[in-house]
Amino acid sequence: MTRPDMALYMMWEDSKKERYNVGLLVQTAEYYYLAVNRRETMSPELDSEYVEIPGMKPGEIYRSPRIFDFIQERIAKSELGNPCQALMDRNGGRSPVDSFYFEPVAKSLIETKVQQIQDLYNLQETLKDMDKPDFSDPE
């Protein structure tokens, strides 16, 4: 079974029940992508309660052939074939230990979001490669 392309907004809710978009999760047939927004680009009202995801740097896009641990712990192992759908079936993947959850991206925007995150990930990796010095002798 091939996983369908899906895109979910990663949300965070404070103690006053204010909701903030803090990232994007994209599922394709080959990879999962997780983009964590930089704090400066999030709502200025985001307060001191917000805790970043351990091991995930804000402003980075992560790609993996398997679902990220942060998400896997929110669903049953039997649901790993389509984890994004499992998150939606499980109240957005809410957890009793944090205030993160997921909301679906509108169907009309999924293709665009998938392409955007893939393009941004590739650009991010290209820029990382450009920072590496090359001391080889030209032939």
- Domain-located, residue 33: yes
Residue 135 domain-assigned? no
CA distances from 83 to 39, 40, 101, 114 (A): 26, 29, 13, 16
- Residue 82, pLDDT above cutoff 70: yes
25 in a domain, yes or no? yes
Flag whether 96 is in a domain.
yes
The predicted pLDDT at position 108 comes to 92
Contacts 24+ apart (CB under 8 A), 69-73: 70/34, 70/100, 71/25, 71/32, 71/34
Taking phi over 0 as left and psi of -120 to 50 as alpha, with beta for the rest, 79 belongs to: alpha
Q: How would residue 117 be classed by pLDDT, with cut points 50, 70 and 90?
A: very high
Q: How far apart are CA 9 and CA 103, in angstroms?
A: 5
Tens digit of each residue's pLDDT (9 = 90 or more) over 83-95: 899 999 988 998 8
* pLDDT at 133 exceeding the cut of 80: no
- The reply to whether 139 falls in a domain is no
Report if residue 138 sits inside a domain: no
Give me the number of domains the chain comprises. Answer: 1
Q: Tens digit of pLDDT for each residue in 39-74?
A: 777 776 666 777 788 888 888 999 999 999 988 888
Q: Which residue has the higher pLDDT, 51 or 112?
A: 112
pTM score over 0.85: no
What residue numbers bound the domain in which 22 lies? 6-130
